Amino acid sequence: MELDSHVSAVIASRRDLAPDLWILRLRSDQPLLFRPGQFATLGILDGGKMIERPYSIASSPRETELEFFLELVPGGELSRRLHPLGVGDRVYLRKAAKGVFGLDEGSSRRKHLMVATVTGVAPFVSIVRTLRHDEEQGALTAPHEIVLLEGASRSWELGYDRELADLEKGASWFHYVPTVSRPGEDVAWPGMRGRVHDLISNALERFGFDSSSATGYLCGHPGMIEAGRGILRGAGFEKESIREERFWVAEKEP
């Protein structure tokens, strides 16, 4: 089949978090241009047919490799084919990244409340990695304050919690609040407990965010997005100050 719209990439590393969650880093044969928060379309050739799905990019455009936080979806056409792959195996990428789920830099709001479930943290990781890099290079053009709330059933599903906790220690503009919703299955977890959308109201008050100064971002499970949107709208956030990226987990893949 013709592959003019795709580029080949090799798996450079793999990190497994759970039987159904893993992180891949890819080394592409050609650079993929993207903005933090966008997604790339990954594919695998199977019997001459390209099986492909979009996945949010976790790496920063400043990095040389592409990173993806993946979930094995029951019945997923692509995820079940990606799951057995390891270092050295090849996949395909569409040459163009897409999506408009990025940092709000077009308004006067410089505070950002980001809410994610599990793999939904990926675009936020890309955003904060990029801001941190630009800050270190003296290229951060405007001040931002970010609060990232991340929820998972168990702590080992958080994926980037150590990296984000370390970033919080070194960046005055970043705050990270993880929570687990099934603490009975993760008794050693010392942090917040409960569903992540239940932390939104407290975070707004704690960090002094309101509808006039902040943009809200919701990424991940559609149930969280529905609940989170309702809480933000109840706090006075208008439709244009709420951004959403829905990850389907039943019949569709992210």
What residue spans define the domains of the chain? 6-94, 111-246
Q: What is the mean pLDDT of the chain?
A: 93
Give the C-alpha separation, 193 to 156, whole Å. Answer: 14
Place of tokens 């966008």: 38
Name residues whose C-beta falls within 8 Å of residue 200's C-beta, 6 or more positions apart in sequence: 113, 115, 149, 228, 231, 232, 235
Quote the DSSP letter at residue 120: G
Q: Considering the domain 6-94 in this protein, what is its CATH number?
A: 2.40.30.10
Residue with the larger pLDDT of the pair 143 and 191: 191
Cα dihedral 177→229→127→40 (10° resolution): 130
pTM for this one? 0.94
Cα dihedral 113→101→80→59 (10° resolution): -80
Q: Considering the domain 111-246 in this protein, what is its CATH number?
A: 3.40.50.80
pLDDT per residue as tens digits for the range 43-95: 999 988 999 999 999 999 999 999 999 999 988 899 999 999 999 999 999 99
Give the C-alpha separation, 244 to 204, whole Å. Answer: 18
